[in-house]
Amino acid sequence: MKKPIHTIETCNQSIGAVRDALYVLNGKWKLPLIVALAGGPKRFKEIQRELKDITPRVLSKELRDLEQNEFVTRKVFDTVPVSVTYELTEYSSCLDEIIESLRVFGMSHRERIIGGLHKDPELVLQSEEV
Protein backbone atom coordinates (compact mmCIF):
# COMPACT_ATOMS: atom_id res chain seq x y z
CA MET A 1 0.00 0.00 0.00
CA LYS A 2 1.21 3.38 -0.94
CA LYS A 3 -0.58 5.91 1.18
CA PRO A 4 -2.25 4.63 4.32
CA ILE A 5 -3.96 7.96 4.81
CA HIS A 6 -6.87 6.32 6.52
CA THR A 7 -5.13 5.43 9.72
CA ILE A 8 -5.87 7.72 12.62
CA GLU A 9 -2.24 8.63 13.19
CA THR A 10 -1.48 9.43 9.58
CA CYS A 11 -4.60 11.50 9.33
CA ASN A 12 -3.70 13.52 12.39
CA GLN A 13 -0.21 14.07 11.06
CA SER A 14 -1.72 15.28 7.82
CA ILE A 15 -3.90 17.76 9.62
CA GLY A 16 -0.89 19.13 11.45
CA ALA A 17 1.16 19.39 8.28
CA VAL A 18 -1.62 21.14 6.39
CA ARG A 19 -2.09 23.54 9.26
CA ASP A 20 1.62 24.28 9.34
CA ALA A 21 1.54 24.99 5.63
CA LEU A 22 -1.49 27.25 5.85
CA TYR A 23 0.09 29.12 8.71
CA VAL A 24 2.92 30.27 6.47
CA LEU A 25 0.85 30.86 3.36
CA ASN A 26 -2.20 32.40 4.98
CA GLY A 27 -3.98 35.43 3.69
CA LYS A 28 -5.31 36.66 0.46
CA TRP A 29 -2.12 37.72 -1.21
CA LYS A 30 0.95 35.57 -0.52
CA LEU A 31 0.46 32.93 -3.16
CA PRO A 32 -0.82 35.28 -5.89
CA LEU A 33 2.19 37.44 -5.11
CA ILE A 34 4.53 34.53 -5.65
CA VAL A 35 2.83 33.77 -8.94
CA ALA A 36 3.33 37.36 -9.96
CA LEU A 37 7.05 37.01 -9.33
CA ALA A 38 7.30 33.70 -11.13
CA GLY A 39 8.14 35.46 -14.39
CA GLY A 40 11.28 37.02 -12.94
CA PRO A 41 12.26 39.92 -10.70
CA LYS A 42 9.83 42.79 -10.50
CA ARG A 43 9.75 46.20 -8.96
CA PHE A 44 7.32 47.31 -6.29
CA LYS A 45 5.13 49.30 -8.61
CA GLU A 46 5.10 46.57 -11.22
CA ILE A 47 3.83 44.07 -8.72
CA GLN A 48 1.20 46.48 -7.55
CA ARG A 49 -0.04 46.91 -11.11
CA GLU A 50 -0.09 43.18 -11.68
CA LEU A 51 -2.11 42.45 -8.57
CA LYS A 52 -4.52 45.24 -9.51
CA ASP A 53 -6.22 45.94 -6.20
CA ILE A 54 -3.52 45.58 -3.59
CA THR A 55 -2.59 48.69 -1.65
CA PRO A 56 1.04 49.65 -1.06
CA ARG A 57 0.67 49.17 2.65
CA VAL A 58 -0.51 45.60 2.29
CA LEU A 59 1.92 44.78 -0.49
CA SER A 60 4.79 46.01 1.62
CA LYS A 61 3.74 43.87 4.54
CA GLU A 62 3.22 40.76 2.43
CA LEU A 63 6.61 41.16 0.83
CA ARG A 64 8.25 41.40 4.23
CA ASP A 65 6.47 38.25 5.35
CA LEU A 66 7.61 36.39 2.28
CA GLU A 67 11.12 37.69 2.75
CA GLN A 68 11.19 36.50 6.35
CA ASN A 69 10.11 33.06 5.25
CA GLU A 70 12.84 33.10 2.63
CA PHE A 71 10.60 32.87 -0.37
CA VAL A 72 11.62 36.27 -1.71
CA THR A 73 14.71 38.41 -1.72
CA ARG A 74 14.80 42.16 -1.93
CA LYS A 75 17.46 43.93 -3.96
CA VAL A 76 18.17 47.60 -3.87
CA PHE A 77 19.82 49.32 -6.82
CA ASP A 78 21.68 52.52 -6.27
CA THR A 79 20.06 54.53 -8.99
CA VAL A 80 18.40 57.92 -8.83
CA PRO A 81 15.76 57.54 -7.76
CA VAL A 82 16.48 54.29 -6.02
CA SER A 83 14.96 51.18 -7.54
CA VAL A 84 14.13 47.98 -5.76
CA THR A 85 13.36 44.57 -7.13
CA TYR A 86 11.88 41.51 -5.56
CA GLU A 87 12.68 38.08 -6.76
CA LEU A 88 11.89 34.51 -5.84
CA THR A 89 14.45 32.46 -3.98
CA GLU A 90 15.49 28.97 -4.88
CA TYR A 91 13.62 27.74 -1.82
CA SER A 92 10.36 29.18 -3.07
CA SER A 93 10.25 26.47 -5.72
CA CYS A 94 9.00 24.12 -3.03
CA LEU A 95 5.69 25.93 -3.43
CA ASP A 96 5.39 25.12 -7.11
CA GLU A 97 3.14 22.12 -6.67
CA ILE A 98 0.86 23.96 -4.31
CA ILE A 99 0.48 26.80 -6.76
CA GLU A 100 0.00 24.54 -9.72
CA SER A 101 -2.71 22.54 -8.00
CA LEU A 102 -4.45 25.70 -6.84
CA ARG A 103 -4.30 27.05 -10.37
CA VAL A 104 -5.80 23.89 -11.85
CA PHE A 105 -8.53 23.80 -9.25
CA GLY A 106 -9.23 27.51 -9.56
CA MET A 107 -9.72 27.25 -13.29
CA SER A 108 -12.03 24.26 -13.21
CA HIS A 109 -13.94 25.68 -10.30
CA ARG A 110 -14.52 28.84 -12.28
CA GLU A 111 -15.78 26.82 -15.23
CA ARG A 112 -18.06 24.92 -12.93
CA ILE A 113 -19.63 28.06 -11.54
CA ILE A 114 -19.90 29.91 -14.82
CA GLY A 115 -21.37 26.82 -16.42
CA GLY A 116 -24.06 26.75 -13.75
CA LEU A 117 -23.06 23.34 -12.52
CA HIS A 118 -23.32 24.50 -8.97
CA LYS A 119 -26.66 24.29 -7.28
CA ASP A 120 -26.38 27.62 -5.59
CA PRO A 121 -26.65 30.44 -8.13
CA GLU A 122 -25.51 32.95 -5.54
CA LEU A 123 -22.01 31.55 -5.58
CA VAL A 124 -19.42 34.06 -6.62
CA LEU A 125 -15.84 34.15 -7.75
CA GLN A 126 -13.02 36.19 -6.36
CA SER A 127 -12.19 37.98 -9.56
CA GLU A 128 -15.59 39.24 -10.53
CA GLU A 129 -15.09 39.96 -14.17
CA VAL A 130 -15.59 36.90 -16.32
- What are the φ/ψ torsions at residue 73 (nearest 5 degrees)? -120, 150
d(CA 65, CA 31): 12
Stretch that binds DNA, among 41-49, 102-110, 111-119, 121-129 (CB under 7 A): 41-49
Neighbours of 32 (CB within 10 A): 18
Contact status: 114 vs its own copies (CB under 8 A): no
Site for its own copies in 68-107 (CB under 8 A): 68-70, 94-95, 97-107
DSSP assignment of 92-129: GGGGHHHHHHHHHHHHHHHHHHHTT-SS-TT---SS--
Stretch that binds DNA, among 1-9, 26-34, 94-102, 116-124 (CB under 7 A): 26-34
Residues at the interface with its own copies (CB under 8 A): 5-6, 8, 11-24, 26, 28, 31-32, 35-36, 38-40, 50-51, 68-70, 94-95, 97-110, 118-120, 123, 125-127
